[in-house]
Structure 1
Amino acid sequence: MLPWQSAWAEALYGPEGFYRRPEGPAGHFRTASHAAPDELAGAVSRLASTLGARRIVDVGAGRGELLTSLVGSPHELWGTDVVVRPAGLSPSIGWSPGVDALPDDVFEGALVIAWELLDVIPVTVLEMDENGRPRLVLVDPRTGRERLGGRASSADLDWARYWWPLDHLGEGDRVEVGRARDLFWHRLIDRARRAGAVAALCVDYAHRRADRPAGGSLTGFYRGRAVPPRPDGTMDLTAHVAIDSVLSATGGSCTLTSQAQALKELGVKNDELLDPGGLGGFAWLLHEF
């Protein structure tokens, strides 16, 4: 058995991982870029123009669905994901196979977006044992069967004590430690800022300290259905984002709102995109540099 974070990372991003499968993530779940691609692209383009961006860089771009809808906008377009350039992608869209492969000059004058990316960055999963101690949750990648492992690291405990308080948790309650997500976003926007980006936008399922889910939120998605999570490479694995921790880790000039509110202000009228109980409930965290 492996710690959830390790099994999760291999299941999504390993050589045979879910995000490398030929059907791509769109074969298993539907999000805003699938629900109303043209309206969403129009809103993103208007946001980029308002911010003075001449380029849009999509980090975690899947197979380029949102970027494809943006073709014809007045912005240069660039995407990156763990796969090589998708077949049939417009030649007007630049592509890098992995965020580390992005050239620094791509960030200059850019709005950098990460649409439902942080929720698929694997994190440590802890569970409270019968003695009130947080312990690692281990999982069998083939079956999804779990058991409790050793004690949490001091760094994970420090994060949890502040961002996911343990005092009121009981046996079986869980903590999804967001340190890896905080660090990823901090590094990305720090690099983007230094390279001349004008803003960065994170859009994701989210919660705050006052409303953390006691049982955690780790879920699998397979062929459009939510299923018990199993890190065998056949399904998406996602957990909601501690967005207040992400915000704190980055600092600077930030705006945190809901997708519904942000899209309304950008002129969107699509009911599905604005549904506060669905896609409209996503958090929008915008950093302006």
Structure 2
Amino acid sequence: MTPWQNAWQQALYGPDGFYRRPEGPAGHFRTAAHAAPGELAGALARLASRLGAGTIVDVGAGRGELLTALVPSGVRLWGVDVVERPPGLPPAIGWAQGLDALPDQAFDGSLVIAWELLDVIPLTVAELDESCSPSIVLVEPRTGREQPGGAPEPEELAWRATWWPGGEEGDRVEVGLARDLFWRDLVHRARTTGARAALCVDYAHTAGNRPAQGSLSGFRNGREVPPRPDGSMDVTAHVAIDAVAAATGLPHEITTQAEALAALGVTDTELLDPGGLGGFAWLLHTF
């Protein structure tokens, strides 16, 4: 048995992890970039223009589907993911295997986007015991069988007290500290190297509507399945978007994808569906 966060990290990003598989994420689920890439690309190009951004940096770019749709827009393009440059990617698109490989100059004058990325940054899963104290949930990767472990780290307990307090015995808490730190560091780097804005788009919740049993899910071959960190499926959990936003200490705007895309002239009904893709949160920082 191992903590969910560790097993999840290995299952998605280890040497044989899900996100390194040749079919890529598009082989298992649809994002907005797969649903209507042309219309979405047009909206992002208009957003970049409004922000004065001549470059779009896509962090967690998959196999470059959204960037490929953006090529006709004429903006400079960079993609970042855990895999090497995908075969057949248009030469106009720059590519980095990991953020460490992305040159700082790529951020200059850019709109940085993280599209459905934070939900697959592994986090600590905890369950409340009979005294309503959280215990780390351990998992057996091969079967998905679980059992309680020890207490979370002090900084995770502090996060929980601020962002996911309360609850009853048996309730779950998905401690989003790792996501807060990832977004804080990405935004800080982008801002200090000349970016114009940073946009996070994801499944999300805020204080007052946290899911009592958490939101940990698995997706494989287009279907939602019980989560199991064995590398055969995507493993995801919704994002505490208010905590992510606050972690940067910077001004921000949070709206829904439906509202944001409608304001950018999008008419595609799937992208605007408030019960589906349109219900995603848009978190935007402008610098």
**Alignment TM class, shorter chain as reference:** over 0.9
Partner of 1:284: 282
Alignment gaps of 5+ in structure 1: none
Give the Å deviation of 1:252.
Answer: 1.9
Q: Distance in 2 between matches of 1:201 and 1:132?
A: 35
Q: Distance in 1 between matches of 2:224 and 2:272?
A: 22
SS in 2 for 1:211: coil
Give the Å deviation of 1:105.
Answer: 0.5
SS in 2 for 1:262: helix
Partner of 2:28: 28
Name segments (4+ residues, structure 1) moved above 3 Å: none
Q: Distance in 2 between matches of 1:134 and 1:194?
A: 37
SS in 2 for 1:15: coil
Give the Å deviation of 1:152.
Answer: 1.7
Matched residues, number = 287
Give the Å deviation of 1:151.
Answer: 1.4
Question: How is 1:127-146 mapped onto 2 (pairs within 5 angstroms)?
Answer: 127-146=127-146
Question: How is 1:52-71 mapped onto 2 (pairs within 5 angstroms)?
Answer: 52-71=52-71
Give the Å deviation of 1:172.
Answer: 1.2
Give me the identity figure in percent: 69
Alignment gaps of 5+ in structure 2: none
Partner of 1:216: 214
Give the Å deviation of 1:272.
Answer: 0.5
Q: Distance in 2 between matches of 1:240 and 1:9?
A: 16
SS in 2 for 1:61: coil
Give the Å deviation of 1:93.
Answer: 0.4
* 1:6 corresponds to 2:6: yes
State the Cα deviation string for residues 155-204 of structure 1 (Å, max 9, x = none): 111100110012xx112100000000000000001000010000000000
Query: Over aligned residues, Cα RMSD in angstroms?
Result: 0.6
Give the Å deviation of 1:154.
Answer: 1.2
- Given the alignment, which residue of 179, 182, 195 partners 1:181? 179
Q: Distance in 2 between matches of 1:150 and 1:286?
A: 36
Partner of 1:237: 235
Q: Distance in 2 between matches of 1:245 and 1:253?
A: 13
Amino acid at match of 2:259: Q
Amino acid at match of 1:128: L
Give the Å deviation of 1:86.
Answer: 0.2
Give the Å deviation of 1:251.
Answer: 2.5
Q: Distance in 2 between matches of 1:129 and 1:220?
A: 25
Q: Distance in 2 between matches of 1:29 and 1:36?
A: 14
SS in 2 for 1:78: strand
Moved more, 221-230 or 151-160: 151-160
Q: Distance in 1 between matches of 2:131 and 2:103?
A: 50
Question: How is 1:93-108 mapped onto 2 (pairs within 5 angstroms)?
Answer: 93-108=93-108
Q: Distance in 2 between matches of 1:132 and 1:198?
A: 44
Moved more, 148-157 or 174-183: 148-157
SS in 2 for 1:47: helix
Q: Distance in 1 between matches of 2:77 and 2:158?
A: 40
Give the Å deviation of 1:131.
Answer: 2.8
Give the Å deviation of 1:7.
Answer: 0.3
State the Cα deviation string for residues 103-150 of structure 1 (Å, max 9, x = none): 000000000000000000000000011232210000001110000011
